């Protein structure tokens, strides 16, 4: 493998946020977006400064308390010292601990869900690596299902429409929208900061261009969001600022108006849907005495009844598309807006039409609304998991704090497993999970916590074993996603930082010690794996008669273009055209406006048809503002938070919150001040931008600033950097999906007038000198 950090050649590479090239010029790494990208994501500029940043982890470390006392629950995690170790020593120690847990409790005591986005390369993809390792070397692990992105919709959509992947990836396409759509109601918007990201990589960011093309053709885009920035300014003529979390009430108001006006498509409802009458009884108030009319919706949403009536009356006769962003369902009762948007789509007879109907998370990620590749792409086989137990991914603290406790999920009565060892690679739970003070308690419960990361995330700081891994720039890989036609040869551009190793090398070292090296590596070096993983793509291209480059030619060229399939509207369009011949894979074979299956579960927090449910978090005297904790624009989640672009977007080193002048004035807060956001769960600092682009009553603080507790010895320390997950509630969307609800909560805000505490989140811990355990010395 070539390792030439000072080689001046331009080298191809890729990330979830775009394809690019890197070149060393005068000792500096210069990153240039791929020339075919019309709208590159500026966050690729986080790479150069991040590469050798002090926040990188240089050496394996083990927590002193773990070395002193051995495995076991310990609330010193996150505030303990670390001891540096050499790789052989740390791998021996960890392999021994893995074996101890497996022998004493079986693989059912290992939680390897290890949720997280890690990096774009398909071979070094950390989730695939860790799952393969745990399956092959330890016989399996307790896994997690679903995602923090789409926890509610992943469970709901199969009940009401069919396969989740089919509905999100094949139902609606941007090409058809540009050509056919008359009006988009974008609930939660289509913010290009989100659609500039695609899992696995992306060569052309086209959503912005497509929205402008639609608008130029006369298509209308209506933004429904508390944040004006959730749709590009050029197409944002119609900002409907409904209170956060009230979209279902607005949708019901629109539906009620259509029924009163007689503008709903009764024929389509009769031929293609199941359970309209039950829902109509609810909508019109026949079953509960409350018509969901515009006046009712106005009181909940903060809009006027007239505005709701007018919005409803813009839809009939038009090719209408109802888009629901991921963010709407990342909240309590998040199933409801997704379900209700599908009902609106059916009511107006739009489901399955080109450019019409229901676009779940369109514009919330660039994997959706695009053509699918016609040939397979690389993916590391993960082996077979011998453990059947799982949790919905966002229930991790519940699991660790309540072993053996019952919980409900999608009609099943389940029990939380008793976890002794948690193994994380490629994710940052102290970024992605809610109520971080509760998460700290949860991580204090386990015997052992292992984290591989490239940087000192708070997750790494809470671990017992911290294993430094390479960044994608420091290794070779293949970047590819099923929805992008460019497969990228990700060339190595730099030597590994310090003693960092690839996740693959770390797992190989552990597999050797656990007697599973051959099974894990199959005898291949990383380069041989890349060749192996490229082969199905090569074969697929050949089978289509395409003059495919062999691996060496692909590697030398830096990329290969893959053929793509035409948009076909997926199963929903086929169902629309022939409801009897090609039924949907739902219980009734139709679009389920009422689901008898969900009704049979008897969940009051997710009954058998969409309903308005009052959220758990409502503003009151103690917490008078709604907090929107959304995705950041300056990085992907918490990745490379310390990079150049992310750092430049902060003010006084803090993450930037935004609030309306009315709320700022009421608190004596001025643009540029440092504010303290707080509620019963925790508190954090942020700098503030005062702007009318955020509706009054709302404060917005994006996720992703590294958690930075001022005094980790406190039960609820102040995060001095601006991580909103110290404030969010750790509760599932409902008993149906148990999805993440991190998007919304309620808080209070005040001007921070104390001495500004320093940012320490990027300072590596200073290792302590510690006598090595006698058993290790004896083994030498």
Q: Which of 12, 15, 45, 119 binds ligand PGD (CB under 6 A)?
A: 119
Query: Is there a contact between 706 and 685 (Cβ–Cβ < 8 Å)?
Result: no
Residue 556, φ and ψ in degrees, nearest 5: -70, -40
Q: Least CB distance from residue 724 to ligand PGD, whole Å?
A: 5
Our answer to whether residue 115 is catalytic in this structure is yes
Give the other-Cβ count within 10 Å of 145's Cβ.
Answer: 16
Q: Which of 703, 731, 733, 748 binds ligand PGD (CB under 6 A)?
A: 703
The answer to the question of residue 457 lying near ligand PGD (CB under 6 A) is: yes
Q: Which of 454, 489, 530, 677 binds ligand PGD (CB under 6 A)?
A: 454
Q: Least CB distance from residue 744 to ligand PGD, whole Å?
A: 9
Question: What is the footprint of ligand PGD within residues 616-635 (CB under 6 A)?
Answer: 629-631
Exposure b/e, 693-703, CB count within 10 A at least 16 = b:
bbbbbbbbbbb
Both tokens assigned to 529? 């794996």
Write down the residue that tokens 């954090």 correspond to. Answer: 684
The answer to the question of residue 431 lying near ligand PGD (CB under 6 A) is: yes
The answer to the question of residue 428 lying near ligand PGD (CB under 6 A) is: yes
CA distance 550 to 552: 6
Q: How far is CA 34 from CA 29, 38, 403, 636, 643, in A?
A: 15, 9, 49, 19, 20
Q: Compute the Cα dihedral for 239, 243, 244, 250 and give only its sign.
A: negative
Q: Which stretch binds ligand PGD (CB under 6 A): 90-98, 404-412, 447-455, 602-610?
A: 447-455
CA distance 727 to 164: 31
Both tokens assigned to 31? 């990153």
Cα torsion at 391, 394, 400, 401 (round to 10°)?
-120
The answer to the question of residue 432 lying near ligand PGD (CB under 6 A) is: yes
At what angle are helices 247-261 and 276-283 packed, to 10 degrees? 100
Q: Least CB distance from residue 327 to ligand PGD, whole Å?
A: 6
CA distance 63 to 90: 11
Query: Is there a contact between 93 and 402 (Cβ–Cβ < 8 Å)?
Result: no
Residue with the shortest CB distance to ligand PGD: 742
Q: Which helix (H) or strand (E) holds 432?
A: helix 429-432
Q: Least CB distance from residue 307 to ligand PGD, whole Å?
A: 27
Q: Which is nearer to ligand PGD, 134 or 425 (CB)?
A: 425
3-state secondary structure of 531: helix
Q: Least CB distance from residue 452 to ligand PGD, whole Å?
A: 4
The answer to the question of residue 337 lying near ligand PGD (CB under 6 A) is: no
Q: Least CB distance from residue 677 to ligand PGD, whole Å?
A: 12
3-state secondary structure of 678: strand
Q: Which stretch binds ligand PGD (CB under 6 A): 342-350, 423-431, 642-650, 748-756?
A: 423-431
Question: What is the footprint of ligand PGD within residues 730-749 (CB under 6 A)?
Answer: 742-743
Q: Which is nearer to ligand PGD, 24 or 148 (CB)?
A: 148
Q: Which stretch binds ligand PGD (CB under 6 A): 314-322, 606-614, 636-644, 647-655?
A: 636-644
Q: Which is nearer to ligand PGD, 117 or 276 (CB)?
A: 117
What's the alpha-carbon Rg for the chain, to the nearest Å? 26
Which residue of the set 111, 117, 174, 555 is catalytic? Answer: 117
For residue 157, which of 455, 549, 598, 578 has the smallest C-alpha distance? 598
The answer to the question of residue 455 lying near ligand PGD (CB under 6 A) is: yes
The answer to the question of residue 117 lying near ligand PGD (CB under 6 A) is: yes
Query: Is there a contact between 454 and 59 (Cβ–Cβ < 8 Å)?
Result: no
Q: Which is nearer to ligand PGD, 594 or 700 (CB)?
A: 700
Q: How far is CA 86 from CA 81, 468, 510, in A?
A: 17, 11, 14
Phi-psi region of 452 (alpha: psi -120 to 50; beta: other; left: phi over 0): beta
The answer to the question of residue 651 lying near ligand PGD (CB under 6 A) is: no
Q: Compute the Cα dihedral for 335, 131, 474, 526 and give only its sign.
A: negative
Q: Which of 15, 45, 128, 149 binds ligand PGD (CB under 6 A)?
A: 149
Q: Which of 116, 162, 188, 363 binds ligand PGD (CB under 6 A)?
A: 116
Q: Which stretch binds ligand PGD (CB under 6 A): 138-146, 376-384, 428-436, 600-608?
A: 428-436
Q: Which stretch binds ligand PGD (CB under 6 A): 30-38, 70-78, 110-118, 213-221?
A: 110-118
The answer to the question of residue 639 lying near ligand PGD (CB under 6 A) is: yes
Q: Which is nearer to ligand PGD, 19 or 347 (CB)?
A: 19
Q: How far is CA 36 from CA 11, 486, 502, 623, in A?
A: 16, 11, 30, 48
Q: Least CB distance from residue 631 to ligand PGD, whole Å?
A: 5
3-state secondary structure of 202: coil
Q: Least CB distance from residue 131 to ligand PGD, whole Å?
A: 13
The answer to the question of residue 453 lying near ligand PGD (CB under 6 A) is: yes
Q: Which stretch binds ligand PGD (CB under 6 A): 294-302, 366-374, 427-435, 538-546?
A: 427-435
The answer to the question of residue 425 lying near ligand PGD (CB under 6 A) is: yes
Q: Least CB distance from residue 747 to ligand PGD, whole Å?
A: 12
Binding mask 505-544 for ligand PGD (x = CB under 6 A): ----------------------------------------
Question: What is the footprint of ligand PGD within residues 706-725 (CB under 6 A)?
Answer: 724-725
CA distance 435 to 648: 27
Q: Which is nearer to ligand PGD, 440 or 573 (CB)?
A: 440
Sheet holding 183-187, edge to edge: 238-240, 220-224, 183-187, 320-324, 357-360
Question: What is the footprint of ligand PGD within residues 124-143 (CB under 6 A)?
Answer: 124, 126
Q: Which is nearer to ligand PGD, 29 or 55 (CB)?
A: 55
Q: Which helix (H) or strand (E) holds 297?
A: helix 294-301
CA distance 101 to 122: 30
**Three-state SS sequence of 80-133:** CCEEECCHHHHHHHHHHHHHHHHHHHCHHHEECCCCCCCCCECCCCHHHHHHHH
Half-sphere exposure of 600 (CA within 13 A, CB side): 8
Our answer to whether residue 117 is catalytic in this structure is yes
**DSSP per-residue codes, 477-531:** EEE--TT-SEEEEE---SPPSTT-B-HHHHHHHHHHHTT-HHHHHTT--HHHHHH
The answer to the question of residue 330 lying near ligand PGD (CB under 6 A) is: yes
Q: Least CB distance from residue 485 to ligand PGD, whole Å?
A: 24
CA distance 243 to 260: 25
Write down the residue that tokens 């209700």 correspond to. Answer: 340
Query: Is there a contact between 378 and 551 (Cβ–Cβ < 8 Å)?
Result: no
Q: Least CB distance from residue 460 to ligand PGD, whole Å?
A: 8
Q: Least CB distance from residue 384 to ligand PGD, whole Å?
A: 23
Q: Which is nearer to ligand PGD, 124 or 491 (CB)?
A: 124
Residues binding ligand PGD: number (CB under 6 A): 35
The answer to the question of residue 637 lying near ligand PGD (CB under 6 A) is: yes
Q: Which is nearer to ligand PGD, 583 or 615 (CB)?
A: 615
Q: Which is nearer to ligand PGD, 397 or 630 (CB)?
A: 630
Question: What is the footprint of ligand PGD within residues 467-496 (CB under 6 A)?
Answer: 469
Q: Which is nearer to ligand PGD, 196 or 573 (CB)?
A: 196
Which residue of the set 17, 66, 115, 141 is catalytic? Answer: 115
Q: Least CB distance from residue 357 to ligand PGD, whole Å?
A: 24
Active-site residue set:
115, 117
Binding site for ligand PGD (CB under 6 A): 116-119, 124, 126, 148-149, 330, 425-428, 431-432, 452-455, 457, 469, 503, 629-631, 636-639, 703, 724-725, 728, 742-743
């Amino acid at each position: 493998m070539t390792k030439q950090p000072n080689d001046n050649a331009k080298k191809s590479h890729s990330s979830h946020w775009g394809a690019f090239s890197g070149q060393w010029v005068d000792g500096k790494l210069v990153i240039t977006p791929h020339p075919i990208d019309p709208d590159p994501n500026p966050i690729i500029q986080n790479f150069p400064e991040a590469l050798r940043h002090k926040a990188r982890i240089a050496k394996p470390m083990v927590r002193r308390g773990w070395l002193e006392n051995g495995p076991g629950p310990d609330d010193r995690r996150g505030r303990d010292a670390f001891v540096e170790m050499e790789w052989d020593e740390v791998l021996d120690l960890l392999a021994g601990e893995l074996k101890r847990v497996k022998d004493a409790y079986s693989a059912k005591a290992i939680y390897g869900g290890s949720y997280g986005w890690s990096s774009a390369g398909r071979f070094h993809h950390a989730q695939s690596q860790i799952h393969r390792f745990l399956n092959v070397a330890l016989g399996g692990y307790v896994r997690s299902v679903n995602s923090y992105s789409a926890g509610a919709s992943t469970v709901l959509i199969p009940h009401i429409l069919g396969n989740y992947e089919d509905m999100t990836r094949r139902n609606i396409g941007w090409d058809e929208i540009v050509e056919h759509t008359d009006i988009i109601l974008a609930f939660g918007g289509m913010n290009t900061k989100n659609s500039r990201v695609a899992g696995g990589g992306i060569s052309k960011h086209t959503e912005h261009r497509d929205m402008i093309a639609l608008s130029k053709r006369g298509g209308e885009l209506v933004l429904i969001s508390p944040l004006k920035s959730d749709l590009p300014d050029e197409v944002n003529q119609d900002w409907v600022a409904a209170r956060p979390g009230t979209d279902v009430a607005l949708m019901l108001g629109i539906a009620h108006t259509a029924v009163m006006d007689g503008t709903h498509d009764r024929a389509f409802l009769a031929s293609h849907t199941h359970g309209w009458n039950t829902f109509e009884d609810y909508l019109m108030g026949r079953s509960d005495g409350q018509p969901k009319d515009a006046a009712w919706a106005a009181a909940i949403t903060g809009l006027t009844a007239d505005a709701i009536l007018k919005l409803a009356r813009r839809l009939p006769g038009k090719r209408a598309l109802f888009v629901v962003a991921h963010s709407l369902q990342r909240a309590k009762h998040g199933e409801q807006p997704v379900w209700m948007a599908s009902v609106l789509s059916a009511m107006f007879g739009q489901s399955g039409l080109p450019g019409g109907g229901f676009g779940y998370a369109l514009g919330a990620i660039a994997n959706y609304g695009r053509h699918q590749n016609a040939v397979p792409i690389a993916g590391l086989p993960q082996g077979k998991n011998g453990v059947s137990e799982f949790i919905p991914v966002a229930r991790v603290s519940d699991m660790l704090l309540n072993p053996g406790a019952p919980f409900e999920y999608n009609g099943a009565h389940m029990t939380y497993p008793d976890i002794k060892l948690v193994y994380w690679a490629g994710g940052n739970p102290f970024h992605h999970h809610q109520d971080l003070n509760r998460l700290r308690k949860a991580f204090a419960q386990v015997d052992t916590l292992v984290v591989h990361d490239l940087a000192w995330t708070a997750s790494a700081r809470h671990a017992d074993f911290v294993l430094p891994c390479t960044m994608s720039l420091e290794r070779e890989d293949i970047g590819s996603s099923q929805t992008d036609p460019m497969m990228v040869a990700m060339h190595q551009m730099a030597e590994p930082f310090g003693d960092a190793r690839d996740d693959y090398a770390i797992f190989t070292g552990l597999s050797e010690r656990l007697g599973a090296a051959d099974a894990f590596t199959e005898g291949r070096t990383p380069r041989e794996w890349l060749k192996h993983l490229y082969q199905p793509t090569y074969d697929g291209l050949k089978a289509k008669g395409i003059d495919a480059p062999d691996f060496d030619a692909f590697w030398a060229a830096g990329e290969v273009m893959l053929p793509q399939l035409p948009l076909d509207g997926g199963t929903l369009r086929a169902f629309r055209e022939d409801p009897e011949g090609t039924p949907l894979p739902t219980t009734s074979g139709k679009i389920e406006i009422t689901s008898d299956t969900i009704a049979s579960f008897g969940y009051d927090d997710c009954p058998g048809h969409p309903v308005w449910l009052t959220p758990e978090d409502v503003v009151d005297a103690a917490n008078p503002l709604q907090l929107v904790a959304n995705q950041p624009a300056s990085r992907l989640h918490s990745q490379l938070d310390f990079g150049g672009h992310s750092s430049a977007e902060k003010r006084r080193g803090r993450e930037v919150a935004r609030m309306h002048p009315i709320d700022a004035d009421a608190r004596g807060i001025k643009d540029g001040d440092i504010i303290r956001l707080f509620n019963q769960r925790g508190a954090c600092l942020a700098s503030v931008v005062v702007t009318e682009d955020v509706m009054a009553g709302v404060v917005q603080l994006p996720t992703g600033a590294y958690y930075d507790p001022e005094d980790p010895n406190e039960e609820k320390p102040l995060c001095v950097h601006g991580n909103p997950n110290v404030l969010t509630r750790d509760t599932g969307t409902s008993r149906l999906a148990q999805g993440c609800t991190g998007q919304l909560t309620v808080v209070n805000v005040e001007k921070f007038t104390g001495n500004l505490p320093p940012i320490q989140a990027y300072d590596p811990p200073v290792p302590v000198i510690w006598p090595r355990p006698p058993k290790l010395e004896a083994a030498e």
